[in-house]
A and B are shown apart, each in its own frame.
Chain A
């Protein structure tokens, strides 16, 4: 322990400036970031950084800080690892009684003291500023640190262990970025009808596990053996595994298992049927990819019970013709759609190879369309009058009205802040009043309800973010265009807003079968 503390103290003395910069940036973020909450649509989280002009100089500064903080951490990590670099044979410490476990322990202690603790404190401070009690979000805060460790700290530390200095590290980072970009570009070039795109079932966790364990193994290997060759091989393998997911989505193999087929005798929580009627007819169109054709088929969804919502997540097409020829698409993501009780027409879109289209278009085919669906059930509901200030919404967080940019005295929706993550999937409805709000939301006036969804189904304890407070806009569009001042619709203070939360209840797979279906002619040209 004495040795670890000595190394820690030495590093702290040597890199005081780097530490100071990291802490100063976090303090600046805690000071600046809350001022952006009053501006609708300001981004949150590290993954969604934009320089939102509407947020003004403080918004730009907050955006810059969200970018600068990870860079400062990169420098902090690289410098402390390279201080006792592991590559080479002339380092001063190689022939001193350094125990590798204590050396590694001292580096981790350093990161804990000067990266994790300040970050944790900054996140707590932001939560408090956002109107949340940090004590209630300890799990989320720690999970965010875990995510930061898995996708940021450990990979950077692993790369630092196999490089001689900061310059080399930057070159390696550039190389890794180029490999990832190349993999993404080549995966985009691949025809989309041969690649799968399904909701994240396991691949996200798998990727995190591979990066976390691989980086950790590389770090331990380097500290214990200083085998740069083995370290490089391990990190190249991790990079290649991650890049391979651009071509092969492991989740596609799990859809059948993850969304079990609905038993024929069980009551279907949602029913899908072919819905061609009136103007809703199947269509086809060419895509930018000249070898592919997009097909759209109307589907009627019904049978959703009160208190439930059906969320189709993925589908695939199995097409057969009278000659016994068969074509099966990979699993494809469904367009975001949430089906409430009642009857709804929805559209299925899929892409097929043009040669396959030509093969099947001449005669009727039978389509079997398995649809992977998640059922969510109502978990809670609250009705809260709209206030012209911050107001708390259970299960969401703290909300405030959004105003028109050109009419700042009129409200157009709300923006909600949630802690550590997007809020639970919530259906929001609001009452718009015809005319102005001078008399408040008077009962004798005409009213229209507008609705919107916010949040995601079953969010984890936290999503990776530099900030611990997430913004979510609830866009409650004006019901219709107003011809005159008397006809205009207003969202008034005191107007009741209904927030209905949904939780995941069941996953299922249901088939839609369409017999005697003819592939439609392309609407944008002849073949």
Chain B
């Protein structure tokens, strides 16, 4: 498998603060990879390391086959980068900005530019500083997509935007998705759930796991076991069961390694007196909450032992 982005044991310190620690991200070519995590998890730092804005304190990263420390003009011709925190040439009009950027990209597609301007309804004669936040973000998208980049890197691109603009941007992005790799960060799971093919979860500078979205949602199930008598948390619960709770005659937990073929039989064996066993699909947000809570609720060594928290390619 070829990777558009690959990091190995990537770390970054700011003074004595560890922003990233031993991160190993693998973004297959053609994927829409969502890097999620709470604010302050290190998502922006990771992206800035990939974009050669920061240099790693340890480990290494490759972007489109190039060492991140050598990512420069030649590689940036193939990368479209949009960040909510990035400054813009505010003094320029939208049209002026697009004309200016044309000079930097040999593969700039004027037809696509026109199409994006129309799609995003961009006012070409307005200065960027006079645009709303959503419009500015749309202008940034247009200027980062018009040269058909091989890799699109988005740092919290949809944060704080109204739903309409968010949908417009996602549609614009998905239109380009077949010909590119997308790597985006977000702290809002709901906004990436619908279109991401891969997901990685970063917390406190560590990558807790990464996985294909389909595989992740397939193996996580909220299991509800209804017993005839009062339920108690049984001894010897497998480590793949997270957040095991008992109330009245009901036992609930999150199964992090559910298999349609094997798990029903396994559960039936574990709960022979069960009146009913249900395994419900979970939304991504619920999966992450389960992982995050589980991770916070146990010691580090214990959490590392859990299969649900292992990094999976």
A: residues with CB less than 8 A from B are 2-3, 5-6, 10, 14, 89-92, 94-100
Contact B73 A2 (CB under 8 A): no
Q: Is B87 an interface residue (CB 8 A)?
A: yes
Contact B87 A91 (CB under 8 A): yes
Residue of A nearest to B53 (CB): A89
Lowest 3 A-B CB distances belong to which pairs? A6-B103, A95-B81, A97-B73
A43 CB to nearest chain B CB (Å): 40
Given A98-B76, A98-B104, A99-B73, 20 extra CB contacts under 8 A = A2-B103, A3-B103, A5-B103, A6-B100, A10-B92, A89-B48, A90-B83, A91-B86, A91-B87, A92-B86, A95-B51, A95-B76, A95-B79, A95-B81, A95-B86, A95-B153, A96-B76, A97-B72, A97-B104, A100-B72
Measured between beta carbons, the chain B residues less than 8 angstroms from A10 are 92, 100
Measured between beta carbons, the chain A residues less than 8 angstroms from B153 are 95
Measured between beta carbons, the chain A residues less than 8 angstroms from B72 are 97, 99-100
Contact B100 A97 (CB under 8 A): no
Residue of A nearest to B48 (CB): A89
Provide the bound-state CA to CA distance between A6 and B54, in Å. Answer: 27
Q: Is B101 an interface residue (CB 8 A)?
A: yes
Chain B stretch 80-128: residues in CB contact (< 8 A) with chain A: 81, 83, 85-89, 91-92, 100-101, 103-105
Provide the bound-state CA to CA distance between A99 and B75, in Å. Answer: 11
Provide the bound-state CA to CA distance between A100 and B89, in Å. Answer: 18
12 sample A-B contacts, Cβ–Cβ < 8 Å, listed by A number: A3-B103, A10-B92, A89-B53, A89-B54, A90-B83, A92-B87, A94-B53, A95-B53, A95-B86, A96-B101, A96-B104, A100-B72
Chain B stretch 29-44: residues in CB contact (< 8 A) with chain A: none
Measured between beta carbons, the chain A residues less than 8 angstroms from B103 are 2-3, 5-6
Residue of A nearest to B80 (CB): A95
Provide the bound-state CA to CA distance between A6 and B99, in Å. Answer: 10
Contact A90 B87 (CB under 8 A): yes
Q: Is B131 an interface residue (CB 8 A)?
A: no
Provide the bound-state CA to CA distance between A96 and B88, in Å. Answer: 12
Measured between beta carbons, the chain A residues less than 8 angstroms from B48 are 89
Provide the bound-state CA to CA distance between A100 and B70, in Å. Answer: 13
Pick the most buried of A3, A90, A91, A95: most chain B CB atoms within 10 A of its CB: A95
Measured between beta carbons, the chain B residues less than 8 angstroms from A3 are 103-104
Measured between beta carbons, the chain A residues less than 8 angstroms from B86 are 90-92, 95
A9 CB to nearest chain B CB (Å): 9
Interface residues on B, range: 20 to 34
Chain B stretch 148-193: residues in CB contact (< 8 A) with chain A: 153
Measured between beta carbons, the chain B residues less than 8 angstroms from A100 are 72
Q: Which of A6, A92, A97 contacts B88 (CB 8 A)?
A: A92
Q: Which of B51, B77, B92 contacts A97 (CB 8 A)?
A: B77
Residue of B nearest to A14 (CB): B91
Measured between beta carbons, the chain A residues less than 8 angstroms from B76 are 95-98
Provide the bound-state CA to CA distance between A10 and B88, in Å. Answer: 14
Contact B105 A97 (CB under 8 A): yes
Measured between beta carbons, the chain A residues less than 8 angstroms from B85 are 90
Measured between beta carbons, the chain A residues less than 8 angstroms from B81 are 95
Provide the bound-state CA to CA distance between A104 and B92, in Å. Answer: 21
Provide the bound-state CA to CA distance between A99 and B87, in Å. Answer: 19
Measured between beta carbons, the chain B residues less than 8 angstroms from A6 are 100, 103-104
Pick the most buried of A91, A96, A99: most chain B CB atoms within 10 A of its CB: A96
Measured between beta carbons, the chain A residues less than 8 angstroms from B73 are 97-99
Contact A92 B89 (CB under 8 A): yes
Provide the bound-state CA to CA distance between A96 and B89, in Å. Answer: 12
Measured between beta carbons, the chain A residues less than 8 angstroms from B194 are none
Q: Is B74 an interface residue (CB 8 A)?
A: yes
Measured between beta carbons, the chain B residues less than 8 angstroms from A92 are 86-89
Report B63-76 CB contacts with A as 1/0, cut-off 8 Å.
00000000011101
Provide the bound-state CA to CA distance between A217 and B87, in Å. Answer: 28
Provide the bound-state CA to CA distance between A10 and B102, in Å. Answer: 13
A37 CB to nearest chain B CB (Å): 43
